[in-house]
A and B are shown apart, each in its own frame.
Chain A
Amino acid sequence: MSTAVQQDRRNLFFGIGSALLLLLAWFWAIYMAPPEQHQGEVYRIIYLHVPAAFTAFFSAALLMVFSLITLFMRRPSAGLWAQATAEIGLIYTLITLATGSIWGRPTWGVWWTWDARLTTTLILALLYAGYLIFHSSLAPGPQRDRIAAALGIIIALDVPVIYQSVNWWRTLHQPQSIVRVGGSTMAPEMLMTLLFGFLACLCVAGWLLHLRFGNLKLQQLLEEYSYDAQSQGE
């Protein structure tokens, strides 16, 4: 069996495994996790919203790592990984915003409010989008990778601001309840469900990232071959 077919098969298994994990996480969240004392059933969206937010933040950290590798170790593939990470980061940030908005309507009475956490998360989405547009506006090559890597590092530095925003500014959004000094304030059965949801989200993100990296690499190879063919034709 060729390497490409083997890789495709591995990707497929990874994808099916991730999807099953995600389904299991949702089943656990909807049917097995206890209802919340004040919000009732509405709160269950937390099991999608919070893992998506963590994955979006994690993508920013990963973007920084790939950007540093591109800049200082000169690995050409790191640039492709960084681009794929920004795309995944954008998707998860949009999921975070959408689920937050759906959750906000019954709890706060509005779809959107200019709250610090919401605003800074929207800023992160804009930065991811800006990074991708910027990347596509430059001619391919090592210089593009270097410039995009510099931008990737700056974007990643926005995440601590988002994370701390609920502590720095008066906000409607609840303060940190999971990762905080003195331990989590969540009930252990809820926390377990949430952490499992996070694991599932990470697996799906990892699968998407791997798939997207493969696509981008293939695209790059095709571009190189087409340039070669053109130059030979001339």
Chain B
Amino acid sequence: MRRQIIQFRALLSQSIHAEWASAERWLSPLLFSLTVLLLFSFAFGRVEQVFIPQLFVAATFLTAFFALQIAFSRVLEPDMQDRVFDQLRSYPIAPTAWFVSKYILVLMLGLMILTPTLVLANLFINESQQSLLSWPLFVIAACSLLALGALGVLLSTMMLRSNARQILYPLLYFPLTTPVLLAAVESSKALLIDHSSLGNLLSSWLGLLVISGIMYFTLSLLLFGELVKPE
């Protein structure tokens, strides 16, 4: 266990350094998110007050999903340079430590994208004085990020060897994350429009979100070891 923790810390530190080596890597998904939010505002124009929470939820989560997909799809790219990935595969590294380090990195990146997206969406879309942001909304966003991150790392590992990964990643990522997207959107709508509490939501949409998160994390953790096993 101690050995795995040391490996995890080393891998996480290496991943963070690789990610932070170039500002473009984490800045471009963020700018992409801002652009999509602007496009949403242009596309819808002035919206009646009653529809604003609905538009806010749809625009925020769709924008975040697109931006997260871009960030997640590139998470193993630095490892592919200089054949680091192949070298790591041949070392006696615990796949669990490797997966969890990538998962934590993805969560950090996700938070860096999701939080500004929520704040900016509230700024651009919500014209009323009352803010739509609340802690329960952040909890829902964080729960969706837990599910999306696990699948993001797994798909990113799968796509490393594919010569069509630019098109295949979104083609597989979006359909597979549909239950998460639906649960996140429905939970947020119930929170903002019906004013449901998190406790009530846990037995419906938020429950589905949490179950999806646990399922994707467990599945990704189990399968990751098989994907990085040396030939």
Contacts and interface: CB of A to CB of B under 8 A. Distances in A.
A150 B175 contact: no
Contacts of B168: 130, 133-134, 137
Interface string B27-68: 000000000000000000000000000000000000000000
B231 interface: yes
By secondary structure, the A interface counts as: helix
A168 B229 CA distance: 39
Interface in B152-194: 154, 158, 161-165, 168, 171-172, 175-176, 178-179, 182
Given A127-B172, A137-B163, A150 B179 contact: no
B158 A147 contact: yes
Interface residues of A, number: 31
Interface stretch (B95-103, B107-115, B219-227): B219-227
A158 interface: yes
A106 interface: no
Contact of B175 (A130, A144, A169): A130
Contacts, number: 69
Count chain B CB atoms within 10 A of each CB in A120, A123, A130, A144 and give the residue with the most. A130
B161 A150 contact: no
Interface string A13-49: 0000000000000000000000000000000000000
A137 B175 contact: no
Interface extent on B, as a size class? 20 to 34
A146 B226 contact: yes
A158 B176 contact: yes
A216 interface: no
A153 B223 contact: yes
A138 B161 contact: yes
Contacts of A186: none
B226 A150 contact: yes
Interface string A50-63: 00000000000000
A142 interface: yes
B93 interface: no
Contacts of A153: 219, 223
B161 A139 contact: yes
A123 B227 contact: no
A146 B222 CA distance: 13
Contacts of A204: none
B215 interface: yes
B154 A137 contact: no
A161 B183 CA distance: 12
Interface in A136-160: 137-139, 141-144, 146-147, 149-151, 153-155, 157-158
In the complex, the 6 A-B pairs of residues with the closest C-beta atoms, listed nearest first: A137-B164, A150-B223, A123-B175, A137-B162, A130-B172, A130-B171
6 contacts: A71-B223, A130-B168, A133-B164, A133-B168, A157-B215, A169-B182
Interface of A: 71, 119-120, 123, 126-127, 129-131, 133-134, 137-139, 141-144, 146-147, 149-151, 153-155, 157-158, 161, 168-169
Given A138-B162, A141-B231, 11 more contacts: A126-B175, A133-B168, A137-B163, A138-B161, A147-B158, A147-B227, A149-B226, A151-B158, A154-B176, A157-B215, A158-B176
